[in-house]
């Protein structure tokens, strides 16, 4: 890199943090190209999950989360990311071009970046303690700062959302192609660089009160207290956008990262739930009956307090940076 620009080691460190972002079934569907004065994010369609994610929405949301993780990592390393989203209409997989400006890291920059390696997707039942409204308000504000609406779903709207989750689960389980993809991407063997390991999947029931969690391959993660299966007080937050295009999904992914990192910093457990939005009929149900038809749902995030004495979750595997970061191809 030229003087006044981050060096390659700095960018590799930032990309390593970016690749800790959550993605649909830990598929990590992104690749990065290093230019002379910029960094470029591309969707890696070879890692798509067509039965689980037929619209490709989860893939773009996943890339958006990686983009926000990158921004957070760069800020903690002393660089502000100047992001140009969807910079090339003729190249739809080119999701972002990132340039750099020096900045002084703040305590909040460093604190948020430190949440990246600590963040986990916790699929276990949560505590019976409700999340305070003040903290939920902070999570909503984090999404709004990324240009994405967020709302905690309560009352009748929550019932409708739970129904959509159960309906989507039934529809997907009836699809042999979906079941095959779930077997491929969950319960993966130790040493795999992608997918969800059995050590991160709860064993036994995945019905928490009225909430039906997605059925994965058999898991090894024990619940700390089976009473939580009926007493789980986790909150459900829906992220939504005014449109349902690639830019909206990319922005929703950035908001997802912002909410998850803020929740992690606050000590909360969290788990993205995309299942009700992967089936066209239930995606429409969430839009019309949960959001009142006003905005387009992009993701549901479940947040709560981890069960008392819950063991720390192991980190899920990640692809090596050398596999996802390459020099930019020259014309």
Per residue in 219-241, pLDDT (tens digit) is 999 887 777 788 889 999 999 99
- Is 85 in the same domain as 186? no
Residue 248 has φ and ψ, to the nearest 5°, of: -60, -40
CB-CB contact of 275 with 323 (8 Å): no
Q: Give the model's confidence band at 3: pLDDT under 50 very low, under 70 low, under 90 confident, else very high.
A: low
Q: What pLDDT is stored for residue 325 in this prediction?
A: 97
Domain annotation covers residue 2: no
Q: What pLDDT is stored for residue 224 in this prediction?
A: 78
Q: What pLDDT is stored for residue 328 in this prediction?
A: 65
- Is 294 in the same domain as 174? yes
pTM: 0.96
Element (H, E) at 151: strand 149-152
Is residue 4 scored above 90 in pLDDT? no
For CA atoms 244, 138, 159, 233, the dihedral sign is: positive
Domain annotation covers residue 128: no
Domain annotation covers residue 127: no
- Domain span at residue 25 reads 8-115+317-327
- Is 295 in the same domain as 173? yes
Residue 61 has φ and ψ, to the nearest 5°, of: -60, -40
Task: Output the domain CATH number for residue 142.
Answer: 3.40.109.10
Query: Averaged over 301-315, what is the pLDDT?
Result: 93
Is residue 1 scored above 50 in pLDDT? no
User: Across-strand partners of 82?
Assistant: 99
- Is 99 in the same domain as 173? no
Question: Count of domains in the chain?
Answer: 2
pLDDT in tens, 117-142: 999 999 999 999 999 999 999 999 99
User: Across-strand partners of 270?
Assistant: 121, 303
Query: Averaged over 215-221, what is the pLDDT?
Result: 94
- Is 108 in the same domain as 162? no
Domain annotation covers residue 309: no
- Is 138 in the same domain as 214? yes
Is residue 258 scored above 80 in pLDDT? yes
- Is 60 in the same domain as 194? no
- Is 90 in the same domain as 232? no
pLDDT in tens, 39-57: 999 999 999 999 999 999 9
- Is 183 in the same domain as 102? no
Domain annotation covers residue 270: yes
Domain annotation covers residue 312: no
- Is 178 in the same domain as 67? no
Average pLDDT score over the chain? 95
pLDDT in tens, 264-287: 999 999 999 999 999 999 999 999
- Is 182 in the same domain as 221? yes
Q: What pLDDT is stored for residue 331 in this prediction?
A: 47
Q: Give the model's confidence band at 329: pLDDT under 50 very low, under 70 low, under 90 confident, else very high.
A: low
CB-CB contact of 213 with 168 (8 Å): no
Residue with tokens 């989507």: 168
Domain annotation covers residue 39: yes
Query: Averaged over 296-324, what is the pLDDT?
Result: 95
Domain annotation covers residue 292: yes
Q: What pLDDT is stored for residue 309 in this prediction?
A: 86
- Is 91 in the same domain as 201? no
């Amino acid at each position: 890199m030229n003087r006044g620009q981050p060096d390659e080691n700095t960018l590799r460190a930032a990309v390593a943090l970016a690749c800790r972002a959550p993605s649909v079934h830990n598929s990590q569907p992104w690749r990065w190209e290093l230019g002379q004065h910029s960094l470029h994010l591309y969707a890696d369609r070879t890692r798509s999950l067509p039965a689980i994610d037929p619209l490709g929405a989860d893939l773009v949301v996943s890339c958006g989360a990686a983009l926000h993780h990158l921004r957070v990592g760069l800020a903690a390393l002393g660089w502000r990311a100047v992001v140009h989203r969807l910079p090339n209409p003729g190249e739809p997989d080119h999701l972002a071009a990132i340039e750099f400006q020096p900045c002084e890291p703040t305590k909040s920059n460093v604190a948020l970046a430190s949440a990246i390696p600590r963040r986990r997707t916790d699929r276990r039942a949560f505590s019976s303690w409700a999340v305070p409204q003040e903290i939920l308000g902070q999570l909503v504000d984090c999404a709004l700062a990324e240009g994405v609406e967020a709302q905690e779903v309560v009352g009748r709207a929550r019932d409708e959302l739970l129904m959509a989750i159960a309906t989507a689960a039934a529809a997907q389980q009836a699809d042999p192609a979906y079941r095959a993809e779930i077997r491929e991407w969950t319960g993966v063997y130790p040493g795999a660089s992608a997918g969800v390991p059995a050590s991160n999947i709860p064993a036994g029931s995945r019905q928490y009160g009225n909430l039906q969690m997605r059925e994965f391959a058999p898991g090894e993660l024990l619940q700390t207290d089976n009473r939580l299966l009926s007493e789980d007080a986790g909150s459900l937050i829906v992220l939504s956008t005014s449109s349902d295009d690639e830019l909206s999904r990319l922005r929703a992914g950035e908001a997802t990262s912002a909410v998850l990192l803020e929740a992690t910093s606050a000590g909360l457990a969290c788990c993205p739930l995309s299942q009700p939005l992967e089936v066209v009929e239930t995606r429409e149900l969430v839009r019309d009956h949960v959001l009142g038809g006003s905005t387009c749902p992009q993701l549901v995030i479940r947040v709560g307090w981890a069960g008392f004495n819950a063991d720390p979750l192991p980190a899920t595997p990640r692809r090596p940076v050398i596999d996802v970061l390459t020099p930019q191809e020259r014309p």
